[in-house]
């Protein structure tokens, strides 16, 4: 008789993984299709911080005949991924959960909401503070007499989406730190001793992900440091509350 703790063959785990990947792809496709009718609103959303810095008359320039179509597809896929994010997280947790001891199914919806909420909080932080500050910095350092600014549509959309996704992922740092502690891969004391390196890494990451001005770099580095401390507190609490969750049996 098969019980939840009975090891299953690798082929069964692979079939389950494939099924869950197909569910994630289906959710992504449905989300992308739902976003297609709102392409104009999405593009206006992308351009809003740019127009705040350079004026409402600014417009994007396409350099190829198919660029507008490619941008629409890119926006639809990104929005579809955001819409499908809770389902993707749910499938990942459902695949991992059978290997965890003392698991609480009631905590899963809370964890999904927390992960999705922190991602959206990071994207909102970037949209409200980082992007306007970056564009204002660029506008203040542009000489109108020598340079005519014609924003390339693909470059602006890619730059905006990259920053939004980067900040959304960065705001998951508390859960990443807590998970490392929960899996017993690193101890809270060791992470505490690594705090100086985390601070240096936060500023390096801020320099890599943000435009070349100190203000926006600091505006990313400081939240990362705060999020690291929150993850450390959460990890300490989990370490005290229950034993570490082992890796799935098919990965051992």
Determine the pLDDT at residue 249: 46
Residue 104's SS3 state is coil
Q: Tell me what the mean pLDDT of segment 6-10 comes to.
A: 63
**Mean pLDDT score of the chain:** 79
Q: Given a cut of 60, is residue 243 above it in pLDDT?
A: no
pLDDT confidence bin for 6, thresholds 50/70/90: low
Rg (CA), the chain: 22
Q: What pLDDT is stored for residue 181 in this prediction?
A: 75
Least confident of 78-92, 104-118, 181-195, 237-251: 237-251
Closest CA to 234 of 179, 184, 196, 194: 179
Cα gap 171→176, rounded to integer Å: 10
pLDDT of 170 strictly over 50: yes
Residues 24-60: b if buried by 16+ CB within 10 A, e if exposed = beebbeebbeebeeebeebbeebbebbeebbeeebeb
* 218-240: pLDDT as tens digits: 777 888 888 888 888 877 777 77
Which residue did the predictor score with more confidence, 242 or 123? 123
Question: What's the pLDDT score for residue 250?
Answer: 43
């Amino acid at each position: 008789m098969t019980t939840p703790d009975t090891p299953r063959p690798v082929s069964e785990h692979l079939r389950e993984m494939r099924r869950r990947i197909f569910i994630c792809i289906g959710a992504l496709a449905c989300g992308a299709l739902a976003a297609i009718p709102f392409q104009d609103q999405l593009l206006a959303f992308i351009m809003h911080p740019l127009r705040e810095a350079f004026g409402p008359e600014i417009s994007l320039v396409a350099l190829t005949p198919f660029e507008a179509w490619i941008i629409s597809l890119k926006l639809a896929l990104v929005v579809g991924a955001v819409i499908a994010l809770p389902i993707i997280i749910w499938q990942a947790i459902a695949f991992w959960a059978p290997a965890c001891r003392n698991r609480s199914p009631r905590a899963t919806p809370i964890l999904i909401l927390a992960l999705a909420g922190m991602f959206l909080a990071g994207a909102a932080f970037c949209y409200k503070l980082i992007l306007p500050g970056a564009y204002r910095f660029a506008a203040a350092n542009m000489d109108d007499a020598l340079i005519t600014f014609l924003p390339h549509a693909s470059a602006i959309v890619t730059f905006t989406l990259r920053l939004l996704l980067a900040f959304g992922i960065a705001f998951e740092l508390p859960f990443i730190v807590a998970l490392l502690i929960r899996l017993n891969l690193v101890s809270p004391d060791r992470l505490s001793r690594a705090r100086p390196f985390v601070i240096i890494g936060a500023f390096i990451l801020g320099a890599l992900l943000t435009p070349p001005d100190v203000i926006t770099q600091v505006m990313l580095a400081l939240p990362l440091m705060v999020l690291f401390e929150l993850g450390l507190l959460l990890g300490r609490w989990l370490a005290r509350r229950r034993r570490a969750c082992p890796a799935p049996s098919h990965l051992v």
